Amino acid sequence: METKTPTKTKMDPNPKVVKASLQTEPPQPKEVVAQQHEAPLGKILMVAAIATGIQFNWSLQLSLLTPYVQLLGIPHKWASLIWLCGPISGMVVQPLVGYYSDNYVTRFGRRRPYIAAGAVFIAVAVFLISFAADIGHATGDSIGKAAKPRAIVVFVVGFWVLDVANNMLQGPCRAFLGDLSGGNSSKMRTANASFAFFISIGSILGYAAGSFNQLHKMFPFTITKACDLYCANLKSCFFLSITILTIVTTIALSFVKEDLTNPSEFDSKNTNNLETKTKVPFFLGGIFGAMKDLPKAMWILLLVTFLNIFAWFPFMMFDTDWMGSEVYGGKVGEGNLYNQGVHAGSLGLMTQAIVLGITSLGIEFLARRLRGGVNKLWGGANFFLAICMCLTVLITKLAESLRRYKTATDGTVTTLPPDAGVKAGALALFGVMGIPQAVTFSIPYALASIYSSKSGAGQGLSVGVLNLAVCLPQLIISILSGPWDALFGGGNLPAFIVGAVAAAASGVVAIAFLPIPPPDTPLDKTSTIAVGAPH
């Protein structure tokens, strides 16, 4: 829901009466005012392009790391617990970083220092994950044993660092895009659709790398006694990902400056004074206050987002495992069939990313032209997602009924890959799921930016609060999906069915209850963002 954009927001001199972000009434102006001009589209695209590097890493996590952690010795039913780090770090790190990036200014800006720090920590995490098996072997793991406890410890530490760094990087990027949009609702939707487009580029590159099992030949040193071909390909993928992230981040930070220019009011003295005023307790108060003062539209947005992510995450976590174990009929660590399925799943995810990229280019057009706007667009996408999740059951049953076997002369029975029709159906399902994914990656963030901009709130904390609705379902699924699947025989379908129900519920809430934002109104070329105190 859009309200009139204030030309200035200033800080209340009394911190006891300062209201949290996302309030409907903007805070009263006082000391430090920083004007953010509406930036050219080219600069917005440079910042949005950072999503390419972020998503390259994320796609590798989705496609390769769940199978890899099982190869290190963690059973399938416990593998989902490794993913707890994502929602936990997201619930803490992204709101925290968003809050401080709203309220503290350095000579490098507000968002840019966090973006740079996130990129550095991602590089550290990539090293730990890539060399987990080697470090484990060097510190005492036996190559012949199925479980490699030291490698698992190194891997889990790297995995946690990677998720923390991704949240440290992604939140400020989204907030920076909101800043650069200068309060223009249409440009906010365009900026977030551009972010989704570059997510698709990163996904295409990541899944293409993950599906190519000869990538290690580019980096022959990756094969060691403790690191087989699968592990060496994983290393090579991560080497490429950190190279891409370094390039796009360097370009954005070098050419896109934060336009915090009001020198008569914004100076180092004010900044220092504000740093002494704003202490850590204000962060906790800001988060709880933000939740307390959320307008109704934002609460409904959080509910739709919660249900939507609850629908997506089971598939995102186990999609390649589903291909390897249920479509291809392989088992982890037994023969090459499971690995073939994982690589086929990576190819499917690459197809999904291509569809995501194409669809994201039309999000703004659809939002403007579709009667009912983003409500019906998001709701319809969620119903479509529910159908897709149900189709995983059909494809699995077809694969089982058409399973082929080969008997050797010594009586050994070998499972053969699924026939062409089953493969095509599975890959087609991956592809069409890119349509609702494009909506998920853009619409909720655009709405959060619009609501926060119209209420004079901080973009960073607004995105952080929205991220709570993204992370909480991930936390629940990470804890429960493994035991839930084990309860029904150990497959992935039970969690997928729960996802289908959640997707349908998300569609109903979006269409029936999410308020329709009013049409865009003419805006000033600049919007003013309060800096230095909780909003």
pLDDT in tens, 308-318: 999 998 898 88
Residue 23 scores a pLDDT above 90: no
Helices (H), 402-458: 420-432, 434-440, 443-454
Highest mean pLDDT out of 178-187, 480-489, 508-517: 508-517
Q: Which residue has the higher pLDDT, 482 or 40?
A: 40
Strand partners, 414: 406
Distance, CA of 335 to CA of 389 (rounded, Å): 28
Query: CA 438 to CA 506: how far, in whole Å?
Result: 16
Range with the poorest average pLDDT among 123-137, 354-368, 509-523: 509-523
* pLDDT tier, 93 (very low <50, low <70, confident <90, very high otherwise): confident
- Gap between the Cα atoms of 496 and 493, Å rounded: 5
Is 321 within 8 Å of 510 (Cβ atoms)? no
- For the ranges 149-158, 266-275, 317-326, the lowest mean pLDDT is seen at 266-275
Note the pLDDT tens digit of each residue in 252-275: 999 998 865 443 333 333 333 333
Query: Average pLDDT in the 524-531 region?
Result: 34
Q: Both tokens of residue 499?
A: 């996802």
Rounded Cα distance between 322 and 315, Å, is 9
**Is the C-alpha dihedral spanning 496, 498, 501, 504 positive or negative?**
negative
Task: Calculate mean pLDDT across residues 238-251.
Answer: 92
Per-residue confidence (pLDDT) for residue 454, from 0 to 100: 61
Phi, psi of 247 (to 5 degrees): -65, -50
Tell me the C-alpha distance between 25 and 85, whole Å: 36
Quick check: 505 pLDDT over 80? yes
Q: What are phi and psi of 10, to 5 degrees?
A: -130, 170
Domains of the chain: 15-530 (1.20.1250.20)
Q: Taking the CA of residue 31 as centre, how many other CA atoms within 13 Å lie in the half-sphere pointing to its CB?
A: 19
Range name among 82-86, 186-190, 212-216, 403-407 with the lowest pLDDT average: 82-86
184-200 average pLDDT score: 86
- The two three-digit tokens of residue 349, written as one number: 């995810």
Confidence at residue 518, expressed as pLDDT on a 0 to 100 scale: 55
How many other CB atoms sit within 10 Å of the CB of residue 519?
10
Q: Could you tell me the sign of the dihedral formed by the alpha carbons of 518, 521, 525, 528, in that order?
A: negative
CB 490 within 8 A of CB 205: no
pLDDT in tens, 411-443: 778 888 999 999 999 999 999 999 999 999 888
Using DSSP's 3-state secondary structure scheme, residue 221 falls into helix
| The pLDDT of residue 484 is above 80 | no
What sign results for the dihedral spanned by CA atoms 450, 452, 458, 459? negative
Q: How far is CA 103 from CA 188, 252, 290, in A?
A: 21, 22, 15
Does the pLDDT value for residue 2 go beyond 80?
no
The dihedral over CA atoms of 342, 346, 348, 351, expressed in degrees to the nearest 10, equals -170
**How many angstroms separate the Cα of 328 from the Cα of each of 331, 401, 421, 481?**
9, 12, 12, 21
Q: Mean pLDDT across the stretch 345-370?
A: 86
Which of 5-9, 109-113, 275-279, 498-502 holds the top average pLDDT? 498-502
What average pLDDT does the chain have? Answer: 78
pLDDT at 504 over 90: yes
In this model, does residue 20 exceed pLDDT 50? no
pLDDT of 17 higher than 80: no
The confidence band for 291, taking pLDDT boundaries of 50, 70 and 90, is: low
**Is the predicted pLDDT of residue 296 greater than 50, yes or no?**
yes
Average pLDDT of span 438-461: 76
371: helix, strand or coil = coil
Of 100-104, 124-128, 389-393, 476-480, which has the strongest mean pLDDT? 389-393
Q: pLDDT value at position 260?
A: 59
Q: Which tops the pLDDT comparison, 283 or 454?
A: 454
Q: With 0.85 as the threshold, say if the pTM is over it.
A: no
DSSP code for 37: E
Task: Of 96-105, 142-151, 401-410, 459-468, give the range with the top mean pLDDT.
Answer: 401-410
Report CA 294 to chain centroid distance, whole Å.
Answer: 23
Residue of higher predicted confidence among 79 and 13: 79
pLDDT at 286 over 60: no
pLDDT digits (tens, 9 = 90+) for 221-232: 888 888 888 788
pLDDT at 383: 97
Measured between alpha carbons, how far is 438 from 429 in angstroms, rounded to an integer? 15
In this predicted model, which residue has the larger pLDDT, 330 or 290? 330
The pLDDT score that the predictor gives to residue 328 is 94
Q: List the structure tokens of 163.
A: 């998720």
Q: Is the pLDDT of residue 21 over 50?
A: no
pLDDT at 16: 41
